[in-house]
A and B are shown apart, each in its own frame.
Chain A
Amino acid sequence: MLTYLLRRLLLMIPTLLGITMVVFSVMAVSPGGVGAQSMVDSNMRPEQRKALTDYYNKRYGLDQPAPVQYLRWLNNISPIGFTQDDSGKYTDFSFTKGMNLGESFYYGRPVTEILGERIPITLLLNILTIPIIYIVAIAIGVKSATQRGTGFDVSSNMIMLALWSIPTMLLGVLLLGFFSSIQHWQWFPTAGISSRAAKDMTFMPHWGSLWDIGKLFLGMLVGTALAVWLSRWQERSLRAFLAGVFGLVAGVWMAQAHASFSLFAWIVLPILGAAILAGIGWMDYKPFRVIGLGCFGATLGILFALQFIHDGFVRGFLFDRIWHLVLPVLCLSLGASAALAKIIRSSLLENLNADYARTARAKGLDEKTVLWKHVFRNSLLPLITIIAGLLPSLLAGSLIVENIFSINGMGQLAIEAVKSRDRELVLSITWLSGFLTLIGYLIADFLYTLVDPRVTYD
């Protein structure tokens, strides 16, 4: 195992070299090339401009031929290499000089420092998104595989395909435009991941009086309890009808909350609300019904209780953060969970018809045990492959989301770096994302051995 690990790690080096080389040659070959143009103001007098360009060229070594620039950059980032003396000449060879990602031209700060600020933000987004993606995808994928060919399977397949095809930018723009603009519903903040006031707040929220908290909890509890009770009702059509009435009320309330009177909203929203909730109420599958209606009931209860709360409520840092992250996380998770649900479905289907599953059923095991103890475990392999690609792909996915919601994470940084032709930043981001991908592949290969003992690498 250890030799395998060593070999894989060593094989990473040429790939990483290749990645940076591809990106560096794109930069070097392009018209204009890497240069200090972006920092130099075009309004300057020619001699001033020349002096400044020369200064930057000298400082960052931009006046040297491209291969030399690349080699110097490589020497800087590799933990062993040549060290420079004060005059900039390469003198000694050192094994302990450490990595140095260089200094960004555009920001004029060390790249490590900038990355240190940006990575936690993107990581936070992804850590919140990944569990949501997996839970939703597994629930839907397993259900549609076990009920293959039924109405649920066909309709969920259509919905998943549609969700998968919705461009992230369209979803983001619509969410931002409708739910955080003053023209429609100003429920969520427009930009960033925390408001300026949140820096002075306490971590947890606090209220004017204890009774207000009680009201909130009471509202939530009553709402959830009512909704769950409704969702467990045996009579199907009555259940769907009552849920539909609730949806109608919610739709009317939403139309009423709209910033301006709009006939369209008054017509469409109640119908939409009624249709969605009646659909959830009509569903055969109990967990979905309970969770769907329960979430709806809890939200409705809280909103209802909020009407009776006095002033003196301070959101606190935590709630402020959550409030800012609702829309971006929603936007990131919808498309990805749809794609994953389809993969889970097809991988389960292959195993549900396998001989060992039939044997297990023939032994007299109930369907639940067959599904979760036998079939699901064997269907995990493709899921693991997805995990490997998930980390870098979410990094790329959050590029659009971060741009729309003005979150200063890695995605925004990547766009800024590329637009300002910042050699050091572009190379560092490339290198980092390539490294993450390769590490992801490696982790996936090890997870294979854990899940499936037949896979060995010795």
Chain B
Amino acid sequence: MSQVHLELTRVGIDFPTPKGPFTALKDVDLKISKGEFVSLIGHSGCGKSTVMNIVAGLYQATTGGVVLNGKEVNAPGPERAVVFQNHSLLPWLTAYENVELAVKQVFKGKRSRTQMREWIEHNLALVQMTHAMHKKPQEISGGMKQRVGIARALAMEPQVLLMDEPFGALDALTRAHLQDSLMDIQNELGNTVIMITHDVDEAVLLSDRIVMMTNGPAATIGEILPVPLERPRDRLELVDSRAYNDCRSAVLRFLYEKQKKVEPIDSKRKPRKSWGEKLRITG
């Protein structure tokens, strides 16, 4: 656990705007060990997604850089699989075919056809989607789509799993269910995970460390909170746990005292990448 697996060093990014560059992130330093589960939490628009997009290679950092296993990250790749906020399944492919696309891309030539089929089915079974694996995204519920999205990412056997508010668009019951599944899978596979969330309980329940970000512009890491809870964790038992509640209140205090955010109602923000997030900002 002590060995550094993924390292962000003085990462900063400027977005060009008509009025000159806008500094979204500045001096983000973070070291993540193998198998660690890290959450990024912060107010809307503070640059959590930007951090993740830089790690994914979808954005290029203006200053600093990301190193994974001693190699610099400068382009997207399947070893850093992303679970997108709004599932992003291809609507014209079935659940199986969506996972297949990823598996073929990663394992073509390395595994036989039967091995690949078994691997796809195994991953769909992992997220309990076997019964509906030949359905198209529009025929299944939001929670199921998100599960297929997770299966697709897991099937790539990524070194780092990046999750951008994976459960943000789901109702509370489905969310709790998927959190439990994710904990089970994480227990079994021991992936390195970076997850963005808005949900304090989710962050405490799932993470080994919670990275709390300050408000933008020029957002950076405010505090890092270790979560000293034994695994496997049970959400019902944790309700009365002292450590759990301490963590929870630490995060809440950070968000609502230290980084209290007072926004003018008609504040203009930089364009967001998805409607879901846009709705959350206004709502």
The judgment on whether A and B are partners is no
Residues of B that sit less than 8 Å from A by CB:
none
